[in-house]
Structures are given as structure tokens and as C-alpha cells.
Chains A and B, each alone.
Chain A
Amino acid sequence: MVARTIPSHANIRLLAKKNLGDLLEVLGRWGTVYAPVEKQPDVYTFAETTDLSAIALGYLRTALPPKRFMYPPEERLYNFTLSKGFEEPPQSEDRQILFGVHPCDIHAFSILDLVFAGPYPEPRYFKRRRRTAIIGLDCLPDVNCFCYSMDTDSVERGFDLFLTDIGEDYFVRVGSSWGEEVVRACKDLFTGLKEGSIEEYKRRADARSRMFESHVEMSDMPQIMELEFSNPLWEELGEKCLSCGSCSIVCPTCYCYDIIDQFDLKGDSGSRTRRWDSCLFKEFAQVAGFNFRQDRSTRVKLRYYHKQIAFVEEYGRSSCVGCGRCIETCPAKINIIEVLNEIRGKKVMSHAG
């Protein structure tokens, strides 16, 4: 039998786990590093740090998705005065690195890119996007994760570096020229593949895909949802929904916003602010003298129909990435996995069973 040589892959390296702290230190010299930390028990957020001991490498999901680094919850767009007209407040030029982004959230950025790219490109979003590096990190699912069903459990693009835990090392995929520069600049930290690292990578990928407990069959979902427009389930969900908007605020792909103009006390000036909006809010569909989604059930239904039908029609895929945040967050326990399965006439299936 011919001994297998270790192939050299230009875009793959190994990073010994003991070198991760040094890598963070190097990244910190390039820009501000934001990494997952446990801010309260079982609540994770991307916070500024390069301190490896503070980083929750095994975190499940952050409370807010990382979209807030490109698209803040609230942002002043303009100041206006009678004499000078509109003036845009200066935007930071600082480089930022999001460290430890999971595949679902990386996919979510690709989805937001589609939305903000056209037909009226959103310059603020892309300005931030361009000064942001993304270091991905693999993860293990809990019962609320259904990225496997949404085809977002792994990721091939949208990152600069992507780290997968394979034991003593991280299997590092290089996804951009910037990522390649980092690897070249830190020659001492990275090595080529070792004996068995490919096998270990594949073994772990297989094991991970078997860990998903929750599944949704997404095949033909837009058509099936169209057929279930009058399903009494929507009314039931309307009874439960609190219209609190939590599901959309924690969603990594929701992008709706409201515009608020505020005059100041001087009488000749004011500001225009953009704030995340939610289709669950009653005012969302309020137009002059009429609200075309008066009932909560129609608003809950819209959220599902936009994610699973309208978005697919416009962009070719669902805008849900299966991150499970809305499930974890909803006080009324509305669970998208159960809703989609019920619409299909199925109970939640267990992959492991």
C-alpha cells in the first residue's frame, strides 16, 4: 500500500491551541477585537477583548447577533439646521475584527449583503463591512439550532479565517487575502497540516452533523406555506404573540427600520435617527389612517411569510439561518421549528432517533 503523503493546501493551516492567545494579540494590533464573552450567566455578547481567558470559545449564541457591528440598533443619520441643511455625523474609520463568529451568523451577513446592496445600496452598512474582518469559529448545536436544515451549518465564504477545533489544533481555513496576510505575518503561529488532521476534521464534521436534534424539511417550503395561508395555526400564534418584537430584534437577518425625526428646542435644528423596527409591532403597517395588519395573527404570519416566501422569491433563498435565537428569546414560546413542521403536517423529527 502506498503511504499517503500529506497534501499541501494553500488555504489551510493549523493553529496550535496554545498559540490562540498570541493570534488575538496580533489581531488586536490591526484593529479592535470583539469576541464572545459571558456577560451574565448564560448570556453571551460580542465584547471588546483580546484576553483569551475572557473569551467563551464554547458559546452557543450571543443575545444579539453580530449584525449590530454593521447595522447598529439605533443610529443618527443626519443632523439638520436651517442654515446648513443636512449634515452626516462622522463615522468611525476604525478597523474591527469579529472573532468567533459561527457559521449561521456568517451566512446572515451574506444575506444582509444582498439586502443592503440594492436596489438602493446602503453606504453605512458597507463602509462598516469593509473595515470589519471576520474570524469564524465552529460550534456544537443545542436543541434550538436548526442550521443543518437551513443549509447554513457550514460555511464556504464570508470569512477571513475560519477556525475548527480538531483537538490540539485549530484547522484554519483562509477565506480572504487579508486572512492570508495574517497567516503570513504570523508564520510562527501557524503550521501546515499534520498526519491525521484531515481525517480528524472529517470525523468531527460527521459527528457534528449527527448532533442536530431538531430538523425541518425545507423542500418546497414556500409553496407549502402558500397552501397553508388559512391554517388556523396563524390565529393560535396571534393569541400567543405579545408583539414584543424580541424575535426580530435578535434575528441575524431582520433588517427593517424606522426613521425618527426629532426637532430640538432651538427651533432651527434637529436630527434624523434610524432605529430597528419590527413587523410584530402594531405601528409597523400603520399608514395614513389605516393599518393593513391590524391583528397580531396577520403580523406573526407576515414574519414567517416574508422569511420563507417573499425573501425566497426576491433573493433565491430563505432569510432564516436557523440560529435558534428567536426560539430561545420568545417569552410566549413560539418556536419556528415547531411552526414550520406543523405547517408541513409533521411533528419535530429527531435525527438521532
Chain B
Amino acid sequence: MSKPRVGIFGLTSCAGDQLAILNCEDELLDIIGAVDLKSFVMAQSDNEEKEFDVAFVEGAVVTEENEEKLREVREKSAILVAIGTCACWGGIPASANGIERVELYRQVYDTEEDYFKCGRTVLPLKEIVRVDLSVPGCPIEKDQIIAAVGSLLHGVSPVLPTYAVCTECRFKENRCLLVKDDLLCCGPITLAGCGARCPSHGLPCKGCRGPVEEPNAASEFDILKEKGYTRHDLEKAFRTFAYSIEIPERA
């Protein structure tokens, strides 16, 4: 059996997910040995961009160029895996959505010109092309990318957590920052997989892994409202990494 042809690509993001792959130091040779790595601009030269069995794509679609690249990769790939919260949910770049763009150009670049052609709504990959598998995280977790590669080699999807950060936090017997300390913790609506890393260090969950499949944002809002937080506080917290989370009004 020939090794699967793999490409690893970055759109707009900090490139931290690609770096997380390179950080799999102990397993890196196994990964490289198991696949035929055709393209990984961050790590190698002489990249070949013909056809891929699996493409891993990091980053949000911020520019027209990003969209073209994404469509091209989708076209050439049998399986497309979104890696990182930017690719899965829009991430930090998408927190610009809903803000007057000219105002942002002025603040960031001191000009009103759309110099980088980034005036469009920032979108996650799934809003533009079919995504076969999502591995969120900011950055992605090492063990999950290894699990994903291992499973894909066998032609199956990896079993990644679908439950909330609270689950892992309870496993660790952490003091609940939401219930006991009244902190604005996004744990109940945020996808697990990080081992509740921040709450384990006394910091409330920021939602960096994006939401669970059906986040009950209305209930989380009710809980936090009682503790004195405003709708604005919550939207700011929930939407830092996933711009699309809505907090429904209760009837």
C-alpha cells in the first residue's frame, strides 16, 4: 500500500497549529514515516502541489487569496481536515466581524485603504468548502493530531471529545470557577480536549477550542446574569474564538 499523500497548509492565522505538528517531536519521525508529505511550506522546500489524499488546513478565510487557496486545496484533496479554531470557527481573526472595517484599518494600519484586501467577512473553512474532519484548538492538541493521523491512516475518523470542558474539569476535581468563584468561565459551552488546562491553573476557560455541538448559551447567560455579568461581557467572551455563537433571548 502506498503512503497517503499529505499536504499541510496555512491561511490567515498565527501558524501555531502547523507549529504544533512540528512540536510532536517524539512522534514526528513516525508521522513523516507514515505519510508521503508532499507539501508543508513551513517545514520543507521542494513542495509539490498536485493531488492529496489528505490536506490539513489551518487558519481562517480572511482574504480573497485565502478563499482561492482553500478552493484549490479542496479541489485537489480527497479528505480536507480543518486544524485549529481559526479554521474550524473563524477564531481570533473572525472577532473582527461586526466591526466597521475602515475603523480597523485606521487603528491597525493607520490608513483607510484595504491594503491587504481583507474587507470581507472572516469565515471558517466549512462556510466555503466541505470539511471532512475538524480538529479545533488554539493551538491544536498534540495527541489529537496524532490520533487524527493514526485514524486516517486506517481509513476511519478519530474519536475526539464532543463534550464540554466541564467534563474534563470534573475529572480533575478542580474547584469550579463558575459555581464557587463566580468567574466568567466558558467551560460549559466549550469543547473539551485540552484537559481543562486553564481552569486547572485557576484561570477561567476562554473558549479557545470553540463551542460544543449544541452550546446552551442561553442557560450559561442566565447563570452569569445572576452573578452580575452583562450580555456584552458574555458576547465578548463567547465570541473571541467563535464569532458565530448566538445568545438567544429567553421568551
| A and B interact physically | yes
Please name all residues of chain B whose beta carbon is closer than 8 Å to the beta carbon of A207 when the two chains form the complex: none
A263-B150, A263-B154 as given contacts; A39 in contact with B179, CB under 8 Å:
no
| Min distance, Cβ B5 to any Cβ of chain A, angstroms | 16
Q: Please determine whether B170 and A242 come into contact, CB atoms closer than 8 angstroms.
A: no
Q: Is B153 an interface residue (CB 8 A)?
A: yes
Closest residue of chain A to B213 (Cβ to Cβ) is: A282
A126, CB-defined interface residue at 8 Å: no
The stretch of B27-35, B65-73, B74-82, B83-91 in contact with A is: B27-35
Question: By the criterion CB–CB under 8 Å, are B219 and A245 in contact?
Answer: no
Nearest residue (CB) in B for A270 is: B150
The residue in B146, B175, B218 that gathers the most chain A C-beta atoms within 10 A of its C-beta is B175
Query: Is the beta-carbon distance between A265 and B149 smaller than 8 angstroms?
Result: yes
Residue from the list B31, B158, B170, B213 in contact with A262, Cβ < 8 A: B158
A331 and B188 contact, CB distance less than 8 A: yes
CA distance A270 to B153 in the complex (A): 12
Q: Is B47 at the interface (CB under 8 A from chain A)? A: no
Q: Considering only CB atoms and an 8 Å cut-off, how many residues of chain B contact the other chain?
A: 41
Q: B117 at the A/B interface (Cβ < 8 Å)?
A: no
Q: Is the CB of A242 within 8 A of B219?
A: yes
Residues of A with C-beta under 8 A to B212: 243
Assess A265 versus B219: contact at CB under 8 Å? Given A242-B164, A244-B188, A260-B159. no
Cα distance A283–B159 in the bound complex, in angstroms:
12
Known: A43-B174, A64-B170, A267-B154. A242 touches B188 (CB 8 A): yes
Q: Is A253 an interface residue (CB 8 A)?
A: no
* Cβ–Cβ < 8 Å partners of A282 in chain B: 162, 213-214
Contact with A42, one of B146, B149, B175, B219 (Cβ below 8 angstroms): B175
A41 in contact with B175 (CB, 8 Å)? yes
Q: Contact string, A36-69, partner B, CB cutoff 8 A, digits 1/0?
A: 0001111101000000000000000011100000
Q: Does A152 contact B (CB under 8 A)?
A: no
CB-CB contacts of B165-181 with A at 8 A, as 1s and 0s?
A: 01100110111101110
The residues of B that contact A329 with a CB separation of less than 8 Å are: 170, 176, 179
The smallest C-beta distance from B35 to any residue of chain A, in angstroms, reads 9
Which of A239, A245, A265 makes the CB contact (< 8 A) with B27? A265
Check B173–A43 contact: CB distance below 8 A.
yes
In the complex the two chains form, is A242's CB within 8 Å of B189's CB? yes
Which of B159, B174, B176 touches A331 (beta carbons < 8 Å)?
B176
B164 near A245 with CB under 8 A, answer yes
**Residues B173-205 near A (CB distance < 8 A):** 173-176, 178-180, 187-189
Chain A hits for B170, CB < 8 A: 63-64, 245-246, 249-250, 329
| Residue B245 is within 8 A (CB to CB) of chain A in the complex | no
- Residues of A at the B interface (CB closer than 8 Å) are 39-43, 45, 62-64, 73-74, 239-246, 249-250, 260-267, 270, 276, 278, 281-283, 296, 328-333
Add 18 more A-B contacts to A265-B149, A331-B176 (CB < 8 A). A40-B175, A42-B180, A43-B175, A73-B171, A242-B164, A246-B167, A250-B170, A261-B159, A262-B159, A265-B30, A265-B146, A267-B153, A278-B163, A281-B162, A296-B214, A329-B179, A330-B179, A331-B223
27 sampled A-B residue pairs with Cβ under 8 A: A40-B175, A41-B175, A42-B180, A73-B171, A239-B218, A239-B219, A240-B222, A241-B219, A242-B220, A243-B164, A243-B214, A244-B164, A244-B187, A244-B188, A261-B159, A262-B151, A262-B158, A263-B150, A265-B31, A265-B146, A267-B34, A267-B153, A278-B167, A282-B214, A328-B179, A331-B179, A332-B223
